[in-house]
Structure 1
Amino acid sequence: MPGLRTFPPALRRPLAAAVALPLLALAAPAAQAEPDDGPAQVWLVEFAEGADASVLEAARDLDFAVRHDFERIWNGVSVEADPATARRLGQLGHVERVWSDVVFTGPARLGSDVLTESAAVPELAQAIRTTRADVAHDRGITGEGVKVGVIDTGIDYTHPDLGGCFGDGCRVAYGTDFVGDDFDSDDPELSEPAPDDDPADCAGHGTHVAGIVGADGEVTGVAPDVEFGAYKVFGCEGSTSAEVIMHALETALDDGMDVVNLSLGQSFQWPGYPTAKAADRLTEEGVTVVASMGNDGEYGIYSGSAPGVGEDVIAVASTDNPAQRMDAAHVPALGRGIGYRVIDASPAPETGTATGGLVWLGRACADDASEGDVAGTAALIVRGTCTFKEKYERAVAEGATSVVVYNDRPGPFGGGGVEDLGVPIIAVTDTDGKDLHDLAAIGEAPVLEFDGETVLVDLPRGGLASSFTAYGPAPDLTFKPDVAAPGGGIWSTVPVADGSYEALSGTSMSSPHVAGAAALLLDAEPRLEPRDVRTRLANSAKPVPWGDNPDLGELEAAHRQGTGVIDIVDALDAEACLYPTGVNVGDGTGPRTFELTLTSRDQAVRDYTLTHRPTIATTGDDHDPGFSAAEPEVTFEPQEIRLHPGQSATIEVTVKPSAELPAGSVFGGRITARPEGDGESLTAAYSGYQGDYLSIPVLEHPEFPRLAAIVAQDPETHEFEYRDPADGETFSLAEGPALAALVYLGHQPAAMEVSATNTDSGEVVEWDPEAFLPRSPGPDDAMGLHLEDLVAQRPNALEPGRWTLTVRVLKALGDAENPEHWEQWTSPEFTLVE
């Protein structure tokens, strides 16, 4: 199975480490964990309720060092220890759980091309018109006096749109660099932070995020008068860790931030993970916390990220802008410019240059026949079937001086995974690519001229849920995401050294839009609590149509858009509130009932009528769901309510799923309280599971679990290569070959237990269970349980002899005491030698 994509070894870093993805769409793939070169690593030790760090006094004989006590935001500490010591710490009284300090992969490095000054125009303006932030500005509501913390790659505070300076009297008034420019938590040689007081951004992502929150200059952000806290948790490249992010959350609290934005996360995660719990604790302290839902929509349902899935965090989905500004290449044969994006890490076309005449090469995979002679000119290629790297290398090998790849699906795209071969490779849209192909097919050989201009490119999902935006609910069925905002094709600030402005896409871009909206609400009403901010934004949000077929008139799934795209003016003007704003009604096949509370903020008596509108349901497999428009039956008791000023009323809502809805579906809808007269309607949303949630298989896969021998690890991707063991092959922990169990998790398990049994003596060796695990991202992604990493927790536990490995998983929401809630696999017998 060479080249199999896998998770990193588990139990050394728990499975959460495997799914730390950047919340920037079109970024490089997640880096996997490095093998453990030394015994010491960082762990997060969580204490039971009411306990504190004093419980570690009982472990004074163990070799560990406390790094940080997070008592203000999370009941636990970070420690440095070897795996065996970490295991023993987990066995102390009043220690709830020991978590590995997991990897959060950083966003891709921005390009360094300097764009023309005229480029800094409309896309952020489009976005703030979508949410009516511009109307709030006209009212004088601009976020003045509100502090917004940006936990990200730092902020280029020299950017004129962000104030031009750092410190007292500057817009970026607070900030800390927790890691240093060279930090990369996924590289053992660079994984020790080197903090300082300068949060300057050398990666670009945080500056883009800050611009969306509150730029004031060539572009205007959602809240252009906010004060910033810049909390740098990434180096110039690479990853960060949960420990660093939690330290930043704590500092943002100490600095008095009113709002904190986290455009980062760990995909497929549970609300119980420490970063999510720490973010929840900030809301208890009065800080509104906003986070990206994640960019794993292609991987199906239950793909949301922590900390966004935190119970009290505002998790934000993304919709696309109508158009995106891109670098332009003028095509004389077409009489217009076309947008393009450089495929990293090839060289960018230089301003003032042109390609040779485009010649059609075809799909350009390694085994494809050449469909044209590209020697000494430009190759035109269609996307798909094989990697960009393979297409690029093929074109260069045939003598192409530049490469143009056009999309095989609607809209612009980007990518990476190529090595710089000295030849530019750029990506263009499907429509522009087909126009170029038509010209090349009749021998016109069109030329692309790079003049430093930009062009607006239509986005096919404009106003709809972005193709990348992740689905909820959380694996414990918590309703997520909460709301949506524009995140696809957003033109905002980037470091001056990188050209000052750039268009990026991702829930990284939608989250700061909502953080800016929260700042506007707090500007207008400073006494709002975090729950009030989320309620106002969610109640007033407007739904978007189902993106896969908008003409059908169905609404996008509630567990993908929340209550919809925020409407800041309606949130400001709300005369009542409907709470809670997102409810999951659980599993089963029959009716489910829940309660909503409607509270008046009005100065007059007003009558309300409750109505329901269903949203599209997802059906079938977690990873590749289908869709159903089967409508639930919803009733209200009462359906009509008269509220006097300040009065509250409770509504009992009963949802009866359609009998036509397949088992395994996640369904949902919108509950709206419509006022009589000209008041603003108030909306809450719900989701639910049709059938027995415990029936979702976890270990069921045609190829996994299985035993495998480790062949090698790719030094760049960190993915492992495996092979099937030979008949009668023996394994040695000292001499190799190394042995692993490859396990595929079809759904998030609540716990996993691993044990080994000596088939000669009957001896059983057990390792500490893992809790709240993510599922495998794609349909063929397995994780490697490496035997040497298991032994690191129990040194010398496995003697020479014949053994089997057993893996048990507790299903999500399962009862650990009920054997029927567990799945189990036992490996074939294998032999260990000295």
Structure 2
Amino acid sequence: MLFPSLVVALSCLASVSAEYRSPKKDGVIVTPRTVPHSWIVELSDLSSYGKRSVDPHEHFATHMKRASIPYTLAKKFDSMGLFVGASIKVDDANAATILALPSVIGVYPVTLVDRPTTKADLTVGVDSFAVNPTDTYSTHAMTGVDRLHNQGILGAGRFIAVVDSGIDFTHEALGGCFGAGCKVTKGYDFVGDNYDGTNTAVESAIPQDCDGHGTAVAGIIGANANALNFTGVAPAATLGSYRVFGCTGTAANEQIIAAMLLAQSDGADVINLSLGFAAGWSEDVVAVVASRIVAAGTVIVAAAGNGGAAGMYYADSPSTGLGVISVGSVDNIVSPGSGAILSDGTTIHLYATSAINTTATFSLALSTTDTTSATDACSPYPDTTDFTGKVVLVRRGTCSFSIKAQNVLDAGGEIILFYNDRAGTATVNSGTVPVQQALITQTEGEALVADVIANPALTISFPAGYINFPNPTTGGLTSAISSYGPKWDNNLSVSLTAPGGSILSTGIGNTYVVNSGTSEASPFIAGVAALFISQNPDLSSPAFVHSMLVSTARPAATVVNGTSLHTVAQQGGGLVDAYNAVLFPSVVSPGSFALNDTDHASLVQTLTIMNAGSSEKSYRLANVPALAALTFSTFGDIPNEDEVPLVEGAATIAFSSTFVAVPAGSSVDVILTFVPPTGLDASNVPVYSGFVSVESADQSEVYSVPYLGVAASMKNDFPILDTSNEYFGVVTPALLTYAEDFVDGPVTFTFTATDQPSLIYRLSGGSAKVIATLVASDTTFTPSILKKRNLKDHNRRRMIKKRADPALPASLGTLFEITYNYRSVFASDDVQNGYYQLPLSTSASTFAFADGTTVPNGDYKVLLRTLKLFGDETVSEDYESWLSPVVTVNHA
């Protein structure tokens, strides 16, 4: 079903859960995404009823009145052909009734979208730099944007909408004004400064940014030439600012939908969405609206997400929308950052939120010459110690930064370089101690200690602005934080990648920032799309732009200068090649091949090669495999996280021809027959991938079309419910009391405000339907998952699985039903998706079904069922199922 409806009260469950003290994971309380009692209702435009003169909102209001359902209108949507409907406040128990009303197409909960997270590495003010006459910006050199700029291709005449936290249009590099004649010409503030996603939005005509995220996005797209010697990808384009985030907090999907629709109505050529949440489904309502806008002719570019640590199948919506260009991140070949320069010419990278603010030159003092000391600066220095006017080098260790800083300050020091005591970097926090500080790496710190010992006259200075530090380790590689796909239907979720790691751009208040994330990669592609459309206005359909960007991209290896290509599940077609995409001499389509799983294999595909030149060309075709990605470890309930294992496992391709001649202006079809790899364990749910290479005979043109398939059955090999005890130390699913006790046997609840159960479960895989019902306590139904305690090894799925009895017990009533569920993760940076906790009642004082009907006193069991991937929701065997202990209802 393309357009989903959540027909039962998930939102009301979220509202009741505010009374629950949720179990904690690493001290973080998981909160629901839904906004209590808030729903988006999609309406028909009534043309199918022969009632074109009837306003759909009036029609809806009439039927709500007839059904005796009181509601409050929050927002209207009136984009005919895209989305007509309303956001309303209403009792959650009425959701199913509303769905059945005439002209109602869908009912969706209002959900919250987290504020986009980026890794802020640096903030610098405006200083005096000489502006280069040509484009030398590293990310542009990586992608061919510099070559387009040097030919005067700058995106003139194109309009790019930024749906984000607003834009600081007062910034010198973003035009300094808002409205006609400015760089930021249009836009709207849907929310106001104080909006956090849960309170009342206050709309305004002035979409000014107070957060900085949207401003950085806008700079990547279209910054003018500035003192820091960079421009945006499409600096001659105009921008639109559509604000959906306040200064803090989240945004609701209703605001994002409204912003996309207005941007489309305002005539955007490209809409950028550097936001989203892990879902993996194209059926999420924001993704659905994005899909429709793309189908209507507007290019939408969206961030693939920063969930790389969460493992496979963790794509963000709305990047999952049909036809949306989903963008992963590649690390910059340099790392712009604060720096220090030694008198011998050596540069040192300072890891701090801002540069050390001084133009003086200092001598260096060593807190200790022992680079293994764990207690350096943890005790006051002798009275004879004098660090006045010196930069003090201090090793990180067992005591806090603030203790070390205070001891240095007491000895006269005011600038500290901490060096790490382990690999990597860290955040320096000396609290209120009035010193300037930065962190350098362990390697640089130990080398600097040795240099000072050898040359006590060595001095150090801190230049204004930033220094481009080479990044030989990960530069040009897919960023570790970039999310993996594919989508739950096994279509590619990442179209291609762009520079997103360590990206210099514009910040609030005429500053410049360095951030990292797919939020930075997405606007880069939005800018490239604008360059493409500016040069090819007659070939600007979203499908064509998408295909050209992907097929001209350059696949990346797993390591710098490596030969094994990285999985398509994370890099899509590879790093964008803007020059070849915009000035293409040939067209290779489609942009990708989705081969699906073993049950739904689509292994015979057609590749079309079109010669856009003025003379005949010949092309060679080849299979270029990438490494296979393992979703699970063998027999495990929990997907691999932190680092996805990559193994050899290549498909083979039989080509109808490996060498074709194509006349000028003509096209030729080549039939490809894929043979999935053998030798991979289906229980790992291995995702194999690679590229079909198309190279001109003179080697002047190279195209590649990514392909991806699954060497397993999604329905039979991909577990949905996590039945391990790895997350809580208790086997799940499980019932939880208000007092946070897990229920292990029969239990009685009075359903007072502090005596109600909730259901805890985790999803190892996405499920198109999760449904909980009450059944009789004496049911003989055998669930597919048998509860077994005290199993220490989480590799238990094959031990506790049993074929379910197909004869389902009679349902006594539905407690909740949720469609298109995302999977749970362990990753510490995404604890919101750690688990589901849902109260079992729509009422805070009585036990009630989802429709509001009171559950009579008596004995029951809770039956939880999760639809398997590619399962048929009408077939009971296509669900995993779990039965609770006996629950006695005894209303007080």
The TM-score bracket by the shorter chain reads 0.7 to 0.9
Q: What is the distance in 1 between the residues matched to 2:130 and 2:888?
A: 65
Rg larger in structure: 2
Matched, 1:705 2:724: no
Matched, 1:787 2:809: no
Task: Give yes or no for contact 2:395–2:421 (8 Å, CA) kept in 1.
Answer: no
Matched, 1:665 2:683: no
1:666 is displaced (CA, Å) by 0.3
Q: Distance in 1 between matches of 2:131 and 2:742?
A: 56
TM-score w.r.t. structure 2 length? Answer: 0.78
Aligned-residue offset at 1:262: 0.7
Aligned-pair RMSD on alpha carbons? Answer: 4.0
What amino acid does structure 2 have at the position aligned with 1:237?
A: T
Name the residue aligned to 1:144: 156
Letter in 2 for 1:533: V
Answering whether residue 766 of structure 2 is matched by residue 724 of structure 1, we say: no
Q: 1:468 to 1:765 in 2, by over 3 A?
A: same
**Separation in 2 of the partners of 1:642 and 1:405?**
61
- Per-residue deviation at 1:165? 1.1
Q: Establish whether residue 84 from structure 1 lines up as the match of residue 96 from structure 2.
A: no
Contact 1:357 1:447 in 2 (8 A): no
Q: Which of residues 239, 243, 267 in structure 2 aligns to 1:228?
A: 239
Tell me what 2:577 maps to: 567
Moved more, 91-100 or 655-664: 91-100
> For residue 616 of structure 2, what is the amino acid of its counterpart?
V
Measured at CA, do residues 382 and 42 of structure 1 come closer, stay the same or move farther in structure 2, by a change above 3 Å?
farther
Task: Work out whether 1:776 is the aligned partner of 2:824.
Answer: yes
Q: Larger deviation: 247-256 or 604-613?
A: 604-613
Tell me, in whole angstroms, the C-alpha distance in 1 between the residues paired with 2:609 and 2:245. Answer: 43
Deviation at 1:578, TM superposition (A): 1.9
The code of the aligned residue for 2:555 comes to: P
User: What is the CA-CA distance between 1:436 and the residue it aligns to?
Assistant: 6.5
Q: What secondary structure does 2:596 align onto? A: coil
Corresponding residue to 1:521 among 501, 508, 532: 532
The equivalent residue for 1:432 is: 444
Report the alpha carbon displacement of residue 673 of structure 1 after superposing the two structures with TM: 2.0
Matched, 1:812 2:869: yes
Corresponding residue to 1:745 among 763, 767, 771: 763
Contiguous gaps of at least 5 residues in structure 2: 1-7, 18-26, 50-55, 382-391, 411-415, 633-638, 726-731, 780-809
1:806 Cα deviation (Å)? 2.0
Q: Which residue of the partner structure matches residue 5 of structure 1?
A: none
> How far apart are 1:634 and its partner, in Å?
1.0
SS in 2 for 1:197: coil
Separation in structure 1 between the aligned mates of residue 594 and residue 302 of structure 2, nearest angstrom: 20
Give 1:65's match in structure 2, choosing from 62, 65, 72.
Answer: 72
What's the CA shift string for 1:566-593, capped at 9, x where partnerless? 1111112222222221221011188822
Asked whether 1:462 is paired with 2:475, we answer yes
Query: Kindly tell me: are residues 322 and 723 of structure 1, through their superposed partners in 2, closer, same or farther at Cα, counting changes over 3 Å?
Result: farther
2:246 partner SS: coil
Say if 1:272 and 1:114 are closer, same or farther in 2 by CA, change over 3 A. Answer: same
Preserved CA contact (<8 Å) 1:70 1:247: no
- What is the rounded CA distance, in whole Å, between the counterparts of 1:492 and 1:108 in structure 2? 16
Alignment of 1:507-546 (within 5 A): 507-527=518-538, 528-546=540-558
Separation of aligned partners in 2, 1:98 and 1:812: 23
Deviation at 1:537, TM superposition (A): 1.2
Residues 338, 775 of structure 1: alpha-carbon distance in 2 compared, 3 angstrom cutoff: same
- What code does the residue aligned with 2:83 have? W
Q: 2:615 aligns with which of 576, 595, 604?
A: 604
Structure 2 residue 563 is matched with structure 1 residue 557: no
In structure 1, C-alpha distance between the alignment counterparts of 2:200 and 2:130, rounded to whole Å: 38
Aligned residue identity for 2:214: G
Query: 1:26 aligns to what?
Result: none
Is the partner of 2:626 in helix, strand or coil?
A: strand
Q: Distance in 2 between matches of 1:154 and 1:473?
A: 30
Question: Residues of 2 paired with 1:363 and 1:82: CA distance?
Answer: 63
Please give the residue correspondences for 1:273-422 in structure 2 after superposition, counting only pairs within 5 Å: 273-328=284-339, 336-342=347-353, 351=358, 373-375=378-380, 380-381=395-396, 404=418, 406=420, 408-409=422-423
Distance, in Å, in 1 between the alignment partners of 2:545 and 2:627 is 27
Distance 1:349-1:646 versus aligned 2 partners, 3 A rule: closer
Q: Which amino acid aligns with 1:668?
A: S
In structure 2, relative to structure 1, the CA distance for the partners of 1:753 and 1:455 (3 Å cut) is: same
Structure 1 range deviating more: 139-148 or 643-652: 643-652
- Three-state SS of the structure 1 residue aligned to 2:736 is strand
| Cα distance in structure 1, aligned partners of 2:372 and 2:757 | 39
Amino acid at match of 2:40: W
Equivalent in the alignment of 2:703: 682
Task: Using the TM superposition, give the Cα deviation of residue 308 of structure 1 relative to its aligned residue in structure 2, in angstroms.
Answer: 0.9
Tell me if the contact between 2:376 and 2:396 (Cα under 8 Å) persists in the aligned partners. Answer: no
> How far apart in 1 are the matches of 2:90 and 2:129?
51
Residue of structure 2 aligned with 1:803, choices 860, 863, 867: 860
| Deviation at residue 11 of structure 1 after TM alignment | 1.6
User: 1:691 maps to what in 2?
Assistant: 712
Specify which of 483, 486, 490 is matched with residue 477 of structure 1. Answer: 490
Measure the CA separation in 1 of the matches of 2:351 and 2:768.
44
Q: Could you tell me how far 1:39 is from its partner in structure 2?
A: 6.1
CA distance in 2: counterparts of 1:332 and 1:830, whole angstroms = 75
Q: Residue 102 of structure 1 aligns to a residue in which SS?
A: strand
CA drift at 1:100: 1.4
For 1:391 and 1:811, locate their aligned partners in 2 and report how far apart those are by CA, in whole Å: 49
Taking structure 1 as reference, are residues 375 and 667 closer, same or farther at Cα in structure 2, changes over 3 Å only? farther
Q: 1:653 to 1:321 in 2, by over 3 A?
A: same
Superposed CA offset, 1:345-368 (max 9, x none) = xx996657999965799999xxxx
Using the TM superposition, name which of 202-211 and 106-115 deviates more. 106-115
Q: What's 2:11 paired with?
A: 12
1: CA distance, partners of 2:218 / 2:302: 14
Distance 1:753 1:826 in 2: 12
Does the CA contact (< 8 Å) of 1:341 and 1:427 recur in 2?
yes
Q: Deviations over 1:395-427 (max 9, x none)?
A: 7999999794748555x56699x9878888855
User: Which whole-Å CA distance do the structure 1 matches of 2:269 and 2:744 have between them?
Assistant: 60
Distance 1:474 1:582 in 2: 14
Q: 1:656 aligns with which of 660, 668, 675?
A: 675
Unaligned runs of 5+ in 1: 1-8, 19-28, 384-389, 712-721
Is the 2:121–2:337 Cα contact (8 Å) retained in structure 1? no
Q: Equivalents in 2 of 1:284, 1:572: separation in Å? A: 22
Does the CA-based 8 Å contact 2:327-2:495 persist in structure 1? yes
AA of the residue aligned to 2:38: Q
Letter in 2 for 1:196: S
One-letter amino acid matched to 1:555:
L
Distance in 2 separating the partners of 1:799 and 1:439: 80
1:644 lines up with 2:641 in the alignment:
no
For residues 209-266 of structure 1, give each alpha carbon's deviation from its aligned partner in whole angstroms, at most 9, with x where no partner exists: 1111111122211111001111111111211111101101111111111111111111
Distance 1:403 1:805, change over 3 A: farther
Offset at residue 119 of structure 1 (A): 8.0
Percent identity, please.
26
Cα distance in structure 2, aligned partners of 1:398 and 1:744: 48
Aligned AA for 2:63?
A
1:435-494 deviations in Å (ceiling 9; x for gaps): 47889999x9x9998675533334331010011111111111111211111111111111
- Structure 2 match to 1:24: none
Aligned to 2:653: 634
**CA distance 1:286–1:453, change in 2 (3 Å):** closer
Offset of 1:160 from its aligned partner?
Answer: 1.5
Say how many residue pairs are matched. 778
* Among 593, 599, 605, the residue aligned to 1:583: 593
